Amino acid sequence: MYTLVIGNKNYSSWSLRAWLLLTQFDIEFEELRLRLNDDEFEQNIRHYSPSGLVPVLISGDLRIWDSLAISEYIAEQHPELNCWPKKTAARAVARSISSEMHSGFSQIRTCLPMNCRRKKPAAAISPELADEIERVRDIWSSCRREYARNGEFLFGGFSIADAMYAPVVLRFDSYGIEVGAMEAEYMETMRSLPSLQAWISAARAETEIIEAYED
């Protein structure tokens, strides 16, 4: 059985990605939550992660850190689950948009930090942030137009790509970001997932406060 080391569910977007993938595909794992911004976090995380960051997947003697690396490992270990789309072209696009999310969107990360307890419109949207929001909207709508016949997610069935964009769904919801009808439908599909609802409920039940992620 795997062990997944995560941070606070209210704030840790990268932890959510790995956790959601494992949970949605019904892969058994033990959850180990470390409190972010805690005096003991730096000391504790080094027992599990050479990078000093969450999430970390423990598989026997192996440690895999970084959400996308974890996702790729799970896809390799469980090929029957089709964590990536089956078809080559769709799989290539799914990997492209997942990598784009992994390495980009700095304005969304900085200006719209994940906070599952928040429900308040963003105070201001800079041109740079607006450009990134528009790019996410374009990704969602273009994927839905192309693959809607296969299901309700970005590539029809749930995939790693959906796990990678799950924190953005929560951010857009928390900050009242306006989206088109097609993107709103996708957001509702994601929010309706029992797995994501379970994460949100646990996040809202947490009592820790990290001021940097609050107003």
Distance CA 197, CA 36 (A): 22
Q: In the prediction, which pLDDT does 47 show?
A: 87
Q: In the prediction, which pLDDT does 42 show?
A: 79
Residue 44 DSSP one-character state: H
Q: What is the pTM of this model?
A: 0.96
The class of domain 2-80 in CATH terms is alpha beta
Q: In the prediction, which pLDDT does 39 show?
A: 79
Q: In the prediction, which pLDDT does 182 show?
A: 96
Distances (CA, A) of 110 to 34, 104, 189: 22, 11, 25
Distance CA 90, CA 160 (A): 12
* Longest CA pairwise span in the chain (Å): 50
Q: For strands 29-33 and 2-6, give the pairing.
A: parallel
Q: In the prediction, which pLDDT does 212 show?
A: 83
Q: In the prediction, which pLDDT does 83 show?
A: 98
- The two tokens of residue 75 are 């896809």
Q: In the prediction, which pLDDT does 26 show?
A: 98
82-198 folds as Glutathione S-transferase Yfyf (Class Pi); Chain A, domain 2 (1.20.1050)
Q: Torsion-angle region of residue 41: left (phi > 0), alpha (psi -120 to 50) or beta?
A: alpha
Distance CA 14, CA 25 (A): 18
Q: In the prediction, which pLDDT does 37 show?
A: 83
pLDDT along the chain (215 residues), means of 10: 97 98 98 89 86 95 97 98 97 98 97 96 96 98 95 98 98 98 98 98 95 83
* Residue 149: its H or E element: none
The domain ranges of the chain are: 2-80, 82-198
Site of tokens 């949970």: 23
